[in-house]
Amino acid sequence: MTSNSLIRIAAVTIILLEAASPARAASCEKSIGRVQAQLDAAIEKNAGAHGWGPESLDALRGHQPTPRSLARAEGQSGVHLQLALDALDRARAADRSHDIATCRRELSEATLLLQKRPR
């Protein structure tokens, strides 16, 4: 089974469990955490896939990288990861405003973007 298949299965399972869970009807916080963990793993994998590159000015200054800065540093191969991070940000905003339908839709979008392979 490929990692993309596992991500798809995990995403569908998460979405179905969250949709069927009345106890979590008021929040999708746990799903956000799960998708964030998947996204972090995908960013780490992508960051190590292209060999070494020159250090950024932030790295030279001792700043720790964020998931977004790692995705951005990968250029074109990290665009889908940046878009997934954007969807995750929108999911968090929707969760804070108790718009669970939008939160779940954005989580689905982030998960679909995770499944895209870099070009």
User: What's at 4, amino acid-wise?
Assistant: N
Question: How far are the Cα atoms of 4, 16, 46 from residue 76, in angstroms, in the given order?
Answer: 19, 32, 11
Q: Tens-of-pLDDT digits for all 119 residues of the chain? A: 666 666 666 666 677 666 654 444 568 999 999 999 999 998 888 766 555 556 656 655 666 777 887 777 777 778 899 999 999 999 999 999 999 999 999 999 999 998 876 55
The angle, 0 to 180 degrees and rounded to 10, between the axes of the packed helices 79-96 and 100-115 is 170
Alpha carbon distance 43, 22 (integer Å): 32
